[in-house]
Amino acid sequence: MNRKETTHFGFQEIPIEEKAHKVAEVFHSVASRYDLMNDLMSFGMHRLWKRFLIELGGIRPGMKILDVASGTGDLARSFSDLIGNNGHIILADINSSMLTQGRERLINLGKVENPSYVQANAECLPFPANYFDRVTIAFGLRNVTRKEVALRSMYQVLKPGGQLLILEFSKPASWLTPLYDVYSFQLLPRLGKLVTGDADSYRYLVESIRRHPDQESLQRLIQSTGFDHCDFYNLSHGIVALHKGYKY
């Protein structure tokens, strides 16, 4: 008898084919209050983390950029200004509610010239090979069922010389861990319940962070999928890390 392949959903082990659906339920639930919760639970720091990614990315006019797990479009808004009318930014997200939030937000901001929107799974990106100058993913990789498959898909659609940028929660410094655990496991679900009416989704958020590879492990995984000159930068004492890699 063949044993069914499983993966983690937070601290649970579930059949691998169920994860995408369960993650989708989480983000359908919180989409309308997602930006507010990001500001509250990070004390606004997520804006600085994303700004660091944008600065490190060396975005120039005319570039083609793919923002995977684009959410409500924070990165895309800044990319749109930097690439100009001759560039192109595609927001891709597996979750229709998040993609709708991102599209409405950018339209309200007057960003109608260069963004496109595609509902897509990071593991099988429906774009031409060697097409994008940059591929970015911010706080989305930990929700992907098969990270190595997604990374290979991102590698395929990048141009030679193109850059991958991953912003994700990571492993904080040891002196910070006890306080971080109290905040994460005790306060965040309560905040999620208060603001969104959904404590379980933010409990999953915390658990998914703990199950995500640490800085060195993720760097090795990125390298193993073909990327070169890989490096990472710890932000806020390692609570978040920015990883980068190049396709040559």
**Domain for residue 1, yes or no?**
no
**Domain for residue 15, yes or no?**
no
What would you measure as the largest C-alpha separation in the chain, in angstroms? 57
Give the neighbor-by-neighbor strand order of the sheet with 228-235: 115-119, 88-93, 64-68, 132-138, 158-169, 240-246, 228-235
The crossing angle, in degrees rounded to 10, of helices 74-83 and 96-108 is 50
DSSP 109: T
Name the residue with tokens 């989704």: 201
**Domain for residue 4, yes or no?**
no
- For residue range 38-81, what is the model confidence (pLDDT) as tens digits? 888 898 899 999 999 999 999 999 999 999 999 888 899 899 98
Domain with 207 in it: what CATH number?
3.40.50.150
**Domain for residue 217, yes or no?**
yes
**Domain for residue 18, yes or no?**
no
> 61 with 80: CB under 8 angstroms?
no
Q: Regarding beta strands 12-15 and 6-9, do their DSSP bridges make them parallel or antiparallel, or are they unpaired? A: antiparallel
**Domain for residue 32, yes or no?**
yes
Residue 28 makes CB contacts below 8 A (sequence gap 6+) with: 95, 96, 97
Which residue ranges make up the annotated binding site?
Answer: 72, 93, 121-122
Which residue ranges make up the annotated binding site for S-adenosyl-L-methionine?
Answer: 72, 93, 121-122
> Residue 204 sits in which domain range?
23-246
**Number of domains forming the structure of the chain:** 1
- For residue range 16-44, what is the model confidence (pLDDT) as tens digits? 877 777 776 777 767 767 777 788 889 88
pLDDT of amino acid 112 = 66
Cα 167 to chain centroid distance, Å, stands at 6
End-to-end alpha carbon distance in the chain: 44
**Domain for residue 143, yes or no?**
yes
**Domain for residue 134, yes or no?**
yes
Low-confidence residues of the chain: pLDDT under 70 = 1-4, 24, 29, 32, 112
